[in-house]
């Protein structure tokens, strides 16, 4: 229950005093070498899919059977949000100095874009609009690693009841680089 991205993340959206267990978060699992994508889903027991906030999303080339199946097979096409209908595109190109490209649009202002490499924030760009684009070149020497993107969105006054006045988030699935 709550946001299990990483240990001690805030806000964690849980009523429990310790919402995440060290070693059991998504980032902990990525750091052990597991290649896991990111989706979000609610813990709703009322059979109302999509009405309790969290959402899984895919970026497809088109609304055709082929476009959707291809998106489901492409790891970086999958992402999750805490409810905002966010569009998130994320790609990494090049091996010597990987270039990370991000484009996003949301229904509420994007407050911050963060690029995470191997579990640590390596680049931050502040925002104050419904869209954001950024390109970042990793200055580090090439190595086997993984990257993902986290968007922080401003609080909303009108949204799902359990999210009113809370920051919203979107996370890309990681992209793994070979060393």
Measure Cα distances from 30 to 26, 34, 116 in Å: 6, 5, 12
In the predicted structure, residue 124 carries a pLDDT above the cut 90: yes
Quick one: average pLDDT of 20-35?
A: 85
Lowest-confidence segment of 39-53, 64-78, 90-104 by average pLDDT: 39-53
| Per-residue model confidence (pLDDT) at position 1 | 44
Least confident range from 16-20, 50-54, 72-76: namely: 50-54
The per-residue pLDDT of the chain, averaged, comes to 82
Whole-number Å distance between alpha carbons of 177 and 141? 12
Which of 4-13, 114-123, 166-175 has the highest mean predicted lDDT (pLDDT)? 114-123
Q: What is the pTM of this model?
A: 0.82
């Amino acid at each position: 229950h709550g946001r299990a991205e990483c240990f001690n993340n805030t806000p964690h959206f849980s009523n429990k005093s310790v919402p995440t267990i060290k070693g059991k978060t998504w980032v902990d699992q990525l750091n052990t070498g597991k290649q896991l994508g990111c989706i979000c889903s609610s813990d709703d027991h009322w059979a109302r899919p999509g009405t309790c906030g969290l959402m899984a999303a895919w970026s497809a080339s088109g609304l055709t059977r082929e476009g959707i199946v291809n998106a489901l097979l492409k790891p970086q096409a999958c992402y999750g949000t805490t409810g905002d209908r966010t569009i998130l595109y994320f790609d990494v190109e090049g091996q010597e100095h990987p270039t990370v490209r991000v484009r996003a649009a949301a229904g509420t202002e994007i407050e911050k874009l963060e690029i995470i490499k191997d579990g640590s924030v390596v680049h931050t760009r502040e925002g104050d609009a419904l869209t954001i684009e950024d390109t970042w070149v990793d200055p580090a020497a090439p190595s086997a690693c993984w990257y993902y993107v986290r968007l922080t969105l401003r609080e909303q006054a009108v949204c799902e009841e359990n999210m009113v006045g809370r920051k919203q988030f979107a996370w890309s699935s990681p992209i793994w680089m070979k060393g």
